[in-house]
Amino acid sequence: MQKVALVVRPDFQMMSIAALSAFEFANIVAGEKLYDINVLSEHGGLVPSSMKTAVHTEAFNDPSFDTVLISGAMDRSRASVGVQAFLVQAAEHSRRVGALCVGAFALAEAGLLDGRRATVHWRRAGEMRDNYPAVRVEEDRIFIIDGKIWTSAGMTAALDLTIGMVEKDFGAPLARSVSQSLVLYHRRAGGQSQHSALLSLSPTSDRIQLALDYARRNLRLDLSVEDLANVACLSPRQFSRTFRAETGCSPAKALENLRLEAARLMIEQGRHSIEAVAAETGFGDRDRMRRAFQRVFGQSPQSLRRTFEPAATF
């Protein structure tokens, strides 16, 4: 049985507690206690969250947990000397140490991210980059594994990280069952972007939203502006003008972004050949998709796939 500990501080984000559900449901799905789950704090007792709801914690004692996670404080206060010392000990004695959302700042304050790749909520990535130049911040990631250190992006990404830990420990079938038990529509792998192409477009009218939804469902087709305009019941010229006014980009650019997002997700999952991904997402051929990937992501689909191989370090 593996011992897991979540370290919380006053004003911690409640979503951190939800991330422990991955371990809880791994126990339930497996029908045995795979994980011994603990919540710790520097002094023990009740610790108030950012929502003023308090949780009971045990005081720091034995640092020899298999996995130690650290939650961030919403008030942006630095981790105390005691918390930093515990994290340093954990990094020495534990198999892995993970930060949930802005908990990455506590790891950075303890010097545990120096020279490592790490991610954090995109709103605070610049702050981390400025204050901790020794950290290789990559904000456009759901979570990153660098050696024994795991870091995650904001909020729900913490759950993606802990499900990723379950997968690392006991395999993909159990991780999928945990995701299904938690009623997650899709479990995101570590390298996935924090941003959604559809969310970033945010049209204001139902007509443009309808066209975007149609495009997302039919990426495999050779979609044209005329096709999307017909769905929106607008002339191609009026559609293009309205689309750009509402989303800030052209229909062609938006369509490429949707295709790139879908292709990247399929490559993460690793169940399809590069040719199949190119066909299913509407790129048509692998060369056209490779050029788009190089331009936007700075690497080829094949290189990205190697990043998501089961034994890889993100």
Tell me the whole-structure pTM to 2 decimals. Answer: 0.65
**What pLDDT, in 10s, does the model give residues 147-177?**
999 999 877 888 889 998 998 899 888 988 8
Q: How confident is the model at residue 307 (pLDDT cuts 50, 70, 90)?
A: low
pLDDT over 90 (residue 8): yes
Question: Would residue 49 be called left, alpha or beta, if left means φ above 0 and alpha means ψ between -120 and 50 degrees?
Answer: beta
pLDDT over 90 (residue 201): no
Write down the pLDDT at residue 312: 36
Domains, the chain, ordered by start = 2-181 (3.40.50.880), 197-307 (1.10.10.60)
**235: number of Cβ within 10 Å:** 12
Cα 53 from Cα 17, distance rounded (Å) = 12
Worst-scoring range by mean pLDDT, 54-68, 142-156, 161-175, 197-211?
Answer: 197-211
Nearest alpha-carbon partner for 211 in 199, 196, 197, 225: 225
**What is the distance of C-alpha 201 from the center of its chain?**
20
**4: number of Cβ within 10 Å:** 25
Cα 258 from Cα 237, distance rounded (Å) = 21
Given a contact cutoff of 8 angstroms between Cβ atoms, the answer to whether 75 and 48 are in contact is no
Write down the pLDDT at residue 302: 87
Segment 250-262 mean pLDDT = 90
**What pLDDT, in 10s, does the model give residues 71-128?**
988 878 899 999 999 999 999 999 999 999 899 999 999 999 999 999 998 888 889 9
- The rounded mean pLDDT for the chain is 87
Write down the pLDDT at residue 199: 53
Strand partners, 70: 7, 99
Cα 84 from Cα 77, distance rounded (Å) = 13
Given a contact cutoff of 8 angstroms between Cβ atoms, the answer to whether 161 and 144 are in contact is no
Share of the chain above pLDDT 70, in %: 91
Q: Tell me which of 45 and 191 has the higher pLDDT.
A: 45
**What is the distance of C-alpha 164 from the center of its chain?**
10
Cα 177 from Cα 52, distance rounded (Å) = 33
Nearest alpha-carbon partner for 280 in 221, 215, 224: 221
> How long is the chain?
314
Segment 246-266 mean pLDDT = 88
pLDDT over 60 (residue 294): yes
Given a contact cutoff of 8 angstroms between Cβ atoms, the answer to whether 10 and 73 are in contact is yes
Nearest alpha-carbon partner for 120 in 133, 105, 132, 106: 105
